[in-house]
Amino acid sequence: MLRLFETFLETTPQLTLVLAIVLQSGRAEYYQWVGICTSFVGISWALLDYHRALRACLPSKPRLGLGSSVIYFLWNLLLLWPRVLAVALFSALFPRYVALHFLGLWLVLLLWVWLQGTDFMPGPCSEWLYRATVATILYFSWFNVAEGRTRGRATIHLAFLLSDSILLVATWLTHSTWLPSGNSLQLWLPVGGVCFLVGLALRLAYYRWLHPSCRWEPDQVDGARSLLTLEESQLPHNRRVAQLARTFFLTAKDEVASPVKGEVNGVL
C-alpha cells in the first residue's frame, strides 16, 4: 500500500507536468517520451501489484493468473492515459489554474472518502492522512475504501472523472484548435477516446468474468487443527491490510455474511 501511495504522490503529478510541458512547447526528445511511457507503465504496475498483494491476504482466493493480471494492468493503463492527457491539456493552456482545479476536486473527493467512514489507521491524524492520499489517487484513478456494493460507487466515480475530463478538454477546445506542435486534435483526442473505450471494455470484462466473487473466509484445515477454535488457530495477520482486502473484494452476497467491523482477520 505504501508503495502504491508513493507512486501516485510522486510519479503522477510529475507525469502530468512533463506531458503538459511537452504539449506546450510542441516538441520533445525521445528520452522524454520514454520517461512518459515508463511512468504510465509504473503507475499501472503499482495498481496491479497492490491488487495482487490484497489478494494474497485472503487464503480462500487463488492467486491472480497471468491472463487476469494482464487484463487488470491494461484497463488501468488505458483508463489512466486519457485522464492524464485531459489534465495535461488543461495545464498546458492554463498553468496557473490547474492547481485551483486540483484543489477543488481534491476537496470534493476528500469529503466523499470521509462520508464513506473509513477506519483503517490507528489514530485520527493518520486516518486523515490516509484519506487525503486516497483523495489524490481518486483524482486520477479508482480506489475502493468502503465495504458494501462497489458497483454504484465505481460508476459514480467513473462518471465524475469522465465529466470533468470532458469539461477540461472542452475548455481547451474553446481556446485552441491545434496543438503547439502542429498536430491536429484529430490525432490526439480520438486516441484518448479509443483508449478510454477499450479500457472501459476491459474493465467490464474483468469484473464480469475474472474478479473474485466467492465468500471471504479462511480455508478449513482437516485434522487436529480443525478442532481448535477460530481464535486459537489464526495465523499472524495485519489488521489494516486484511480489512482493505476484505473491502476490495466484498461482493453483494457478502453484505449479509460479512463479519462485524473490528473482527476482520487476514493472513499475510
Asked whether residue 172 carries a pLDDT value surpassing 70, the answer given is: yes
Of all residues in the chain, what percent carry a pLDDT higher than 70?
Answer: 70
Q: 250 pLDDT exceeds 70?
A: no
- The C-alpha cell at 63 is 492467486
How much is the average pLDDT of 125-149?
A: 86
* Of 18-32, 33-47, 97-111, 160-174, minimum mean pLDDT range: 18-32
What is the Cα Rg of the chain in Å? 21
Query: Is there a contact between 206 and 68 (Cβ–Cβ < 8 Å)?
Result: yes
How crowded is residue 251: how many other Cβ atoms within 10 Å of its Cβ? 18
d(CA 28, CA 47): 28
Q: What mean pLDDT is predicted for residues 21-46?
A: 81
Asked whether the predicted pLDDT for residue 171 surpasses 50, the reply is yes
**Cβ–Cβ < 8 Å for 233, 59:** no
CA distance 23 to 42: 21
Percentage of residues in the chain with pLDDT exceeding 90? Answer: 27
For residue 234, name the pLDDT band (cuts at 50, 70, 90).
very low
CA angle (68 as vertex; 86, 79 as ends), nearest 5: 5
**What phi and psi values does residue 184 have, to the nearest 5 degrees?**
-70, 155
What confidence tens digit (pLDDT) does each residue in 59-109 have? 666 677 888 889 999 999 999 999 999 998 888 888 888 999 999 999 999
Q: What is the pLDDT of residue 227?
A: 32
pLDDT of residue 244: 59
In this structure, of 95-99, 105-109, 143-147, 180-184, the range with the lowest mean pLDDT score is: 180-184
Q: What is the mean pLDDT of residues 101-130?
A: 90
Most confidently modeled range among 21-30, 47-56, 194-203, 214-223: 194-203
Work out the average pLDDT over 247-259: 47
pLDDT at 118 over 60: yes
Q: Inform me whether the pLDDT recorded for 37 exceeds 70.
A: yes
As a whole number of angstroms, the distance between CA 253 and CA 262 comes to: 20
Sign of CA dihedral 252, 126, 155, 63: negative
Closest CA to 63 of 267, 176, 212: 212
Residue 117: band (very low, low, confident or very high) from pLDDT cuts 50, 70, 90 = confident
Q: How far is Cα 43 from Cα 84, in angstroms, rounded to an integer?
A: 12
pLDDT tens digits, residue range 96-105?
889 999 999 9
Neighbours of 239 (CB within 10 A): 13
CA 192 from centroid of its chain's CA atoms = 18
Q: How far apart are the C-alpha atoms of 68 and 42, rounded to whole Å?
A: 18
Q: Specify whether the CB–CB gap between 237 and 78 falls below 8 A.
A: no
Least reliable range by pLDDT among 113-122, 140-149, 183-192: 183-192
Structure confidence at residue 184 (pLDDT):
53
Higher pLDDT, 147 or 234: 147
